[in-house]
Structure 1
Amino acid sequence: MGLLRKKLAVLDLTHGGIPIAKKLAALGNDVSGVDVYGTVDPALLGELEEKYGIRCSKAPLPVSEFDLLVAPVHLDSAYSMLEEARAAGKTILSHHEIVGKILKKNPWLSGTKIVEVTGVKAKTSTASLLADMLSRRFKVVLHTSRGLEVWDNGFHSSIYRGLSITPGSILTAVEKSLEAGVEPDLKPEFFIFEISIGGTGTADFGILTTLSPDYGIANNTALASDAKLQLILNAKPGSVLLINSGAEKALEAAKKTQAEVLTFKDPFLAEAHANISETGRTPDFVLETEKASGISEVSGSTLRFLSRGKEIFSASLSPGYSSSAYRTAFVAASAAALELGVEVKDVVSVLEEFRGLSGRMQEKELNGIALIDNSNSGMDILSAEKALEYALLKKKDEKKRSVILVLGEEASQVCEGLPPASVQKFVEKSGTKCGQIILVGERMQEVTAKNASYAGSIQEGLSKAVELAGTEDIILSSVKCFR
């Protein structure tokens, strides 16, 4: 279906719908935007109507007025406009699908390869490591939850901050790259997009990091894992897909694709312990780790990378962060980089120089006190558990006194928030292993523990932790927040 002179309704202006509506209007369509959650500032809705000709409504609109609807995969399937559209046989495109159609119409992207990274865990770290590796040979623009960056020869500079990783934000990322002076004759050879819950169908190289732990979307009427399969089901012929060998649902879907399918073994997540005979193939890429005798994971380790059964390289990791938190990213980024033409020596160099990403199990100091920073938008209770395990290991190795845990959420809308019930179970199970727990966010007031206090923000939580801690303690920050 073409995108010219159509009557379209774009549902959900909160999660990436606004840039989609703007682009569709610019392509000559009659566009209406529906603020299904009622969270968009009325002044912004007015601007969309006056400046872009986009009719906006906070209430559902009659479906009979439109040729097709555009809705995010996470919208409740019982939303009235969706129910009416299905009953009337109207076409409903996901935000991912419509963004793909728009990108295909952008002549500036001609000749630039697109990499899309989706999954539950390790998206940001995989995309960031791959950008560093590719930049040793190519010019790269990277869009992740950390921001929009240009990478060149191992160095990066920020173009723009504040974008989400919804599919609609890809349109803004491309636009901001042009505005920032990434001129046509200097345009990047690669765009790498971290993208939530699926793919747009425009990727030359798609990476699926993990499908677990799975979770419900669309008011628990669908699974996130099924939505993420868009990366595979929408893959264009001739493209390449790199899939976690433990994601059996994805491998089953990939049997029908016209893309080339490669797999990597990630033995560090529960989903990856699949029997090879069940998936029907041996992984193309495998990562193994070796630890020197008597040296714990806190002090780093050595990686061995195998491609199709043959060892390609080994790399000695630097200390100062939890290498186990990055193993999925190490194998996925290395495999992708090698397939995309990066030399082995450059892949090894990036891995050995890596010191962790801010907010992702990175070790720092705060007022002279050891800090493990695990606060980011993708942080969940499983990540908090692993972070505490690492902190307790570090405490034992370095003979520290106690761990002071800062835990919670700075904004409940960040990627589904952090459920207070999950936090309550966590503190009941592991809270006594911490000297003090500082719970961050309004919803964490529901959580009770003997050694707990409360803070309104991550900054307030860290300030309280510094007051409580001494140089013999470790502060562990695990707060779900935008960074």
Structure 2
Amino acid sequence: MQILVLDTIHGGKVIADHLSRLGHDIDMVDVYRGQEGIIPEIARSRSYDLVVAPVHLDPDYALLHEISSPVISHHAAVRWILGNNFSKTVVEITGKQGKSTTATALAFLMQGPGLLQTSSGLYRYPEKEVIGRYSITPASLLTTSAFIPPNGWFIAEISIGFCGIGSLGIITSGLDYSIANEKRSAFTVKSEQSHVMEKVLVAPGVLLQHTGAIFVKDLITIEGSTAFYNYLGITGEFSNPLLTLPGYQTPLMLAAGAALLLGIKPDKLSEFTALPGRMEVFHDDGYIIIDNSNSGTCLATTMDSFRFGKEIVGDKPVTIIIGQESASVCENFTTKEIISSIEKIRPQSVILIPGDKRIMSTDIIGFCESYDISCTLAVSPEEGIKCAKCLNSPLILLSVKRWK
């Protein structure tokens, strides 16, 4: 087949390489930078049997209309390339927030050898050995799936939808954001793609029209720091103080529910501890640092970190390090969310990390000035912590959206 692959930098080149190995004739267009493959003018002059495009590409991108060939997503291309060469224990996880925590908590419960792929890295279990760092674009599965041990399980975060190679999908959040040059809803895309999964476990509050949808609230209920479960006559409970934090409650519910669907009792979650960058607590030179710096950082998780910190130190002055360390093709920590965080918390000091050009630094600085809140700029979370430790606030909230 003659195939045109669009977008080389978000996994397209990996997809193109695999299709080429399968014997197809491949052209690529680097739609964002124009540095790899062929230029659009050449693509327009050629005939193709198929076009492969990412779901986040602007639907009005010219080549999508100028080439009259069927178009499939990067997700679908990965499913096509990998085929059905997997055991039944493959879990795909998508959603705006909670993916990494859900995936890691489920891996914590899994038995035997397996592979965990999150935005923080690729890990071999049960050793928890770090294999490497890969993105969570669909195409990464073409590389990381090669590390699955024989007869082992595989849990993978997927950005903006499902590939459909697994037996179970999980949607961790119904929160939405715009993609494709603000012309498409990310949650709508995830909902549409959920139908490639036989079963989909759904977070509380998420509405999903799917014959295989399983709503986690039908399996797990929470009372304080205790979770009670009931599935096909399997009943029990486990307790963990993390269940009182909204940022952990849903992921732990989903991990417990997924475990039940896989035939595993989730009681061991009573031993699960906070992840790095997800409400991890540090005591450093007399300061208490609540680390909420991860790929899902947003207004809601920032407020969770504030409430958690106040439980620890009481009513003491706060310095908040807030922002985003680099640009994202998808959702970012918006200016509106950052200002709302500052308005609700009313910290003594703000250290802003404006790593994405969509963050309006002047608006945030102006807002701080209007409330007599000091605001300084830093280029990284690490520099922000150094600055914060020169101030007098005993509580430091590190709330930076980052891909670490």
TM superposition score normalised by structure 2: 0.90
Task: State the AA in 1 paired with 2:201.
Answer: L
Q: Give the match's secondary structure for 1:326.
A: helix
Q: Matches of 1:27 and 1:240 in 2, distance apart? A: 30
Q: Is 1:145 equivalent to 2:145 in the alignment?
A: no
Listed one character per residue, the Cα deviations across residues 329-370 of structure 1 (whole Å, up to 9, x for unaligned) are: 11111111122122x2xx222x12211111112212233421
1:210 is aligned to 173
Counting only pairs closer than 5 Å after superposition, residues 298-313 of structure 1 correspond to structure 2 as 301-307=225-231, 312-313=235-236
2:14 counterpart SS class: helix
Contact 2:88–2:166 (CA<8 Å) still a contact in 1? no
The residue correspondences of 1:153-172 to structure 2 (distance < 5 A) are 155-161=127-133, 163-172=134-143
Question: For residues 213 and 392 of structure 2, what CA distance do their matches in structure 1 show?
Answer: 50
Match of 1:437 among 350, 367, 370: 350
Q: Against the structure 1 CA distance between its residues 358 and 245, is the aligned structure 2 distance closer, same or farther, given a 3 Å change threshold?
A: closer
Q: Match for 2:238: what amino acid?
A: A
Is 1:327 equivalent to 2:299 in the alignment?
no
Which residue does 2:70 correspond to in 1?
A: 91
1:339 aligns with 2:261: yes
User: Whole-Å Cα distance in 2 between the matches of residues 60 and 123 of structure 1?
Assistant: 40
| Aligned equivalents of 1:63, 1:261: Cα separation in 2 | 44
1:379 to 297, 318, 334: 297
Deviations 1:264-298 (A, max 9, x none): 12xxxxxxxxxxxxxxxxx2x122122xxxxxxxx
Higher helix proportion (structure 1 or 2): 1
Q: Match of 1:49?
A: none
Alignment check: 8 A CA contact 2:294 2:400 kept: yes
CA distance in 2, matches of 1:60, 1:418: 38
Deviation, 1:468, is 1.4
Report the alpha carbon displacement of residue 121 of structure 1 after superposing the two structures with TM. Answer: 1.8
What residue in structure 2 maps to residue 357 of structure 1? 275
Aligned: 1:458 with 2:381: yes
The CA distance in 2 between the partners of 1:110 and 1:202, in whole Å, is 7
- Asked if residue 286 in structure 1 is aligned to residue 202 in structure 2, the reply is no
Q: Which residue of 1 aligns with 2:33?
A: 38
Counterpart Cα distance in 2 of 1:393 and 1:339: 35
Residue 106 (structure 2) pairs with residue 130 (structure 1)? yes
Q: After superposition, what is the alpha-carbon deviation per residue over 1:422-441, rounded to whole angstroms, capped at 9, x for unaligned?
A: 323443x225x212110012
Gaps of 5+ in 2: none
Aligned partner of 2:195 in structure 1 is: 233
Question: What is residue 202 of structure 2 aligned with on the other side?
Answer: 243
d(CA) in 2 for partners of 1:222, 1:124: 24
Query: Separation in 2 of the partners of 1:21 and 1:305?
Result: 45
| CA deviations over 1:35-55 (Å, ceiling 9, x no partner) | 10117xx5xx4xxxxxxxxx4
**Which residue identity is paired with 1:34?**
V
| Partner of residue 80, structure 1 | 62
Shift of 1:117: 0.7
What secondary structure, in the 3-state scheme, does the structure 2 residue paired with 1:33 have?
Answer: strand
Residues 230-288 of structure 1: CA deviation (Å, up to 9, x unaligned): 442222xxx3322235322x2x2x13xxxx442212xxxxxxxxxxxxxxxxx2x1221
CA contact (8 A) 2:95 2:171 kept: yes
Structure 1 residues 231 and 129, CA gap change in structure 2 (3 angstroms): farther
Note if contact 1:392-1:403 (Cα within 8 Å) is conserved in structure 2: no
How far did 1:444 drift? 5.4
Q: What's the counterpart of residue 184 of structure 2?
A: 222
| Distance across 2 between alignment mates of 1:93 and 1:151 | 33
Deviation at 1:170, TM superposition (A): 1.2
Alignment partner, residue 400 of structure 2: 479
Q: Find the aligned partners of 1:441 and 1:172 in 2 and give their Cα distance.
A: 32
Distance 1:381 1:188 in 2: 41
